[in-house]
Amino acid sequence: MDKQNVDAAGLAPVVDGLFAMGEDGLALLGSRCTACGTYYFPKLTTFCRNPDCDSESFEQVPLSRTGKLWSFTDSCYTPPAPFVAADPFIPYAIAAVELDREKMIVLGQVVDGVGVKDLRAGMTMELVIGTLLDTGEAGLKSTWQWRPVAGDAR
């Protein structure tokens, strides 16, 4: 099954509440402080971490689906649990993407077939649905991944 073209309707998310499919496609679900407008991912519900704000009021918001590649690296070792990795382990790229509207950095795995040799700081990345390894017992689980936007080869 192609990881970057999976239909999310039939897949359970790896963690409930981190992302959702909407009319515009996949979106990470974050929160925004109703007093100062600071964004958070994962969602924050306790108190605003902005030192200039003492609010405890948040609204859930879908976060930007695109951003600029801020940094990237290879994951060349098997991650610890609860991550489920292939055996033998297959290295993959990890991207740190600065979201367009929120100007916050969100990490995520890069889609299969795109390695660090294909990435350049500043290129536009988009959020897509992907799957984690099918272990058989729990079935396929969906997660978010980053993919370079076609035509943006900085």
Distance from the first to the final alpha carbon of the chain: 30
For the chain, the domains span: 3-148
**What is the reported pTM?**
0.84
SS3 70: strand
Q: For each of the chain's 154 residues, which pLDDT tens digit applies? A: 333 333 444 567 777 888 887 777 788 999 999 999 999 999 999 999 999 999 999 999 999 999 999 999 999 988 887 777 778 888 999 999 999 999 999 999 999 999 999 999 999 999 998 887 665 666 677 889 999 998 765 5
How far is 135 from 22, CA to CA, in rounded Å? Answer: 27
* Number of helices followed by number of strands (H, E) in the chain: 0, 10
Q: Is 117 exposed, middle or buried (0-12, 13-18, 19+ CB in 10 A)?
A: exposed
Residues 6+ apart with CB under 8 A from 63: 27, 28, 29, 30, 39, 41, 99, 101, 102, 106
Q: Judge contact between 65 and 25, C-beta under 8 A.
A: yes
Structure tokens that stand for 109 in this block: 């795995």
